[in-house]
Structure 1
Amino acid sequence: MWKTIVGFLCLGGGVSCAVGQTVDSGKPYSAVKGADELVLSNREGNPLVTYRYTVKPPPPGVDAAYGRAGYIHPLQTISGKVLTHIQPADHYHHYGLWNPWTHVEYKGKMYDLWNIGDKKGTVRFVEFAEIFQDTKHAGFEAVHDHVVFDDGRETVIMRENWRIAISQLDANRYAMDIRSTLVPVTDADVVLKEYRYAGLGFRATPEWTNKNSGVLTSTGKTRKDADGSLERWTIMSGQLGDSRGGVLFLSHPDNYNFPEPVRIWPVDANGGRGDQFFNFSPTKNMDWVLEAGKAYTLQYRLVVFDGSLSADEAEQLWQSFAH
Structure 2
Amino acid sequence: MAPRFTLTVLFFSALNGFAATFTIPGPNQSKANQVVEVTDASLDRSLSYVIATQTAAGVNLLPAQWDSKKEKLTFILPYQDIGKTFTGFATLGKPKTSLEVQALRGKETIEVSEVGETTRTILKYQDAETLPASVKEVYRRGGFIHPIYTPDQTLVSDSFAADHLHHHGIWMAWSHTSFQGRKPDFWNVQENKGRVAALGVDRVWSGPVEGGFTSKLRSLDTGIQPAVPVLDETWTVRCYAGGANARANVFDVETTQKNIATDPLELTKHIYGGLGFRGRRDWDAKAPLRFLTSEGTTDRKKGDGQRARWFYFGGPADGKSVGVAILCHPDNLNAPQTTRFNPTMPFVAYTPVHAGNTTIAPGSLFTQKFRFVVFSGEPDTLLLESYWQGFATPATVTVK
Instruction: Tell me the TM-score normalised to structure 2 length.
Output: 0.73
SS, match of residue 151 in structure 1: coil
> What percentage of aligned pairs have identical amino acids?
26
- Please say if residues 33 and 387 of structure 2, whose CA atoms lie closer than 8 Å, have aligned partners that are also in contact: no
Task: Give the whole-Å Cα distance in 2 for the aligned partners of 1:84 and 1:258.
Answer: 25
CA displacement at 1:9 relative to structure 2: 6.8
Task: Give the whole-Å Cα distance in 2 for the aligned partners of 1:254 and 1:151.
Answer: 35
Change (3 A) 1:307 1:124: same
In structure 1, give the amino acid aligned to 2:357: D
Uncovered stretches (5+) of structure 1, i.e. residues with no partner: 270-274
What are the equivalent positions in structure 2 for 1:148-159 lying under 5 Å apart?
A: 148-159=221-232
Instruction: Tell me the TM-score normalised to structure 1 length.
Output: 0.90
Which residue is 1:195 aligned to?
A: 270
Structure 1's consecutive aligned runs of 4 or more residues displaced over 4 angstroms after TM superposition are 9-14
Match of 1:167 among 230, 234, 240: 240
> Which has the larger Rg?
2
What are the equivalent positions in structure 2 for 1:72-151 lying under 5 Å apart?
A: 72-151=145-224
Q: Provide Cα deviations, 1:71-126, integer angstroms capped at 9, x if missing partner.
A: 11101111111111111121111111100110121122211000111111111111
CA displacement at 1:58 relative to structure 2: 3.6
Task: Give the whole-Å Cα distance in 2 for the aligned partners of 1:17 and 1:109.
Answer: 47
Q: Provide Cα deviations, 1:129-180, integer angstroms capped at 9, x if missing partner.
A: 2111111111001011111113321111010101111113452212110100
**Residue 218 (1) aligns with residue 294 (2):** yes
In structure 1, give the amino acid aligned to 2:78: G
Which residue is 1:34 aligned to?
A: 106
Change (3 A) 1:17 1:26: closer
Task: Give the whole-Å Cα distance in 2 for the aligned partners of 1:294 and 1:264.
Answer: 30
- Please say if residues 58 and 92 of structure 1, whose CA atoms lie closer than 8 Å, have aligned partners that are also in contact: no
Match of 1:254 among 308, 324, 331: 331
Task: Give the whole-Å Cα distance in 1 for the aligned partners of 2:174 and 2:339.
Answer: 14
Task: Give the whole-Å Cα distance in 1 for the aligned partners of 2:289 and 2:253.
Answer: 24
Match of 1:20 among 56, 78, 81: 78
Uncovered stretches (5+) of structure 2, i.e. residues with no partner: 1-31, 38-66, 80-94, 394-400
**Residue 300 (1) aligns with residue 376 (2):** no
Match of 2:349 among 279, 282, 305: 279
Task: Give the whole-Å Cα distance in 2 for the aligned partners of 1:24 and 1:200.
Answer: 39
- For these two proteins, the number of residue pairs brought into alignment is 309
- Please say if residues 149 and 155 of structure 1, whose CA atoms lie closer than 8 Å, have aligned partners that are also in contact: yes
**Residue 69 (1) aligns with residue 152 (2):** no
In structure 2, give the amino acid aligned to 1:216: L
Which residue is 2:35 aligned to?
A: 8
Task: Give the whole-Å Cα distance in 2 for the aligned partners of 1:17 and 1:93.
Answer: 37
**Residue 263 (1) aligns with residue 340 (2):** yes
Change (3 A) 1:205 1:123: same
